[in-house]
Amino acid sequence: MSENQQVTQEAPLRVALLGCGVVGSSVARMLVEHGDDLAARVGRRLELVGIAVRRAGKDRSDLPVDPALFTTDAESLVTRADIVVEVIGGIEPARSLIELAMKSGASVVSANKALLAEAGPALYAEAAEHGVDLYYEAAVAGAIPILRPIRESLAGDEVRKVLGIVNGTTNYVLDKMDTTGQGFAEAVEQAQALGYAEADPTADVEGFDAAAKAAILASLAFHTRVSSDQVYREGITEVSAADVQAAREMDCVVKLLAICERTETIGSDGRSTAGVSVRVHPAMIPRSHPLGGVRDAFNAVFVEADAAGQLMFYGKGAGGDPTASAVLGDVVAVARHRVGGGRGHGESAYADLPVLEMGQALTRYHISLDVADRPGVLAQVATSFAEHAVSIETVRQHIIAADPDGPDGDAGETRANLIVVTHTAPDAALSATVRALSGLDTVREVVSVMRVEGA
Ligand X SMILES: N[C@@H](CC=O)C(=O)O
Site for ligand NAI in 187-226 (CB under 6 A): 195-196, 198-199
Cβ contact 253:247 at 8 Å: yes
**Residue 213: active-site member:** yes
Binding-site partner at residue 204 among ligand NAI, Na ion, ligand X, none, CB < 5 to 8 Å by type: ligand X
Residue 188 burial by CB count (10 A; 0-12/13-18/19+): exposed, middle or buried? buried
Half-sphere exposure of 348 (CA within 13 A, CB side): 16
Among 142, 164, 201, 454, binds ligand NAI (CB under 6 A): 142
d(CA 141, CA 121): 21
Tell me the β-bridge partners of 416. Answer: 371, 399
Q: Which residues are within 8 A (CB) of 75 and not within 5 positions of it... i.e. 6 or more apart?
A: 97, 100
Binding span for ligand NAI by CB under 6 A among 12-20, 172-180, 237-245, 278-286: 12-20
* Residue 454 touching ligand NAI (CB under 6 A): no
* Residue 331 touching ligand NAI (CB under 6 A): no
Among 106, 258, 318, 331, binds ligand NAI (CB under 6 A): 318
Identity of the residue numbered 243 = D
Binding span for ligand NAI by CB under 6 A among 13-21, 279-287, 376-384, 427-435: 13-21
CB of 216 to ligand X, least distance (A): 11
Radius of gyration of the chain (CA): 25
Q: Which residues are within 8 A (CB) of 144 and not within 5 positions of it... i.e. 6 or more apart?
A: 299, 300, 301, 313, 314, 315, 316, 317, 326
Site for ligand NAI in 55-114 (CB under 6 A): 74, 87-89, 93, 111-113
Is 23 annotated to bind a ligand? Reply is: yes
Is 113 annotated to bind a ligand? Reply is: yes
CA dihedral 420, 424, 429, 432 (to 10 degrees): 20
* Sheet order of strands, 13-18 included: 70-71, 46-52, 13-18, 83-86, 107-110, 134-135
The nearer residue to ligand NAI, 149 or 426, going by C-beta atoms, is 149
* Residue 443 touching ligand NAI (CB under 6 A): no
Q: Is 3 helix (H, G, I), strand (E, B) or coil?
A: helix
Is 24 annotated to bind a ligand? Reply is: yes
* Residue 134 touching ligand NAI (CB under 6 A): no
d(CA 20, CA 77): 14
CB of 389 to ligand X, least distance (A): 38
Binding-site partner at residue 195 among ligand X, Na ion, ligand NAI, none, CB < 5 to 8 Å by type: ligand NAI
CB of 210 to ligand NAI, least distance (A): 12
Catalytic residue among 161, 176, 213, 255: 213
Residue 242 burial by CB count (10 A; 0-12/13-18/19+): exposed, middle or buried? exposed
The nearer residue to ligand X, 50 or 142, going by C-beta atoms, is 142
Is 25 annotated to bind a ligand? Reply is: yes
Applying CB under 6 A, the residues found at the interface with ligand X are 142, 167-169, 196-198, 204, 209, 317-318
The nearer residue to ligand NAI, 111 or 303, going by C-beta atoms, is 111
CB of 289 to ligand X, least distance (A): 20
Identity of the residue numbered 9 = Q
CB of 138 to ligand NAI, least distance (A): 5
CB of 22 to ligand X, least distance (A): 9
Q: Which residues are annotated as a binding site?
A: 18-25, 113, 198
Q: Which residues are annotated as a binding site for L-homoserine?
A: 198
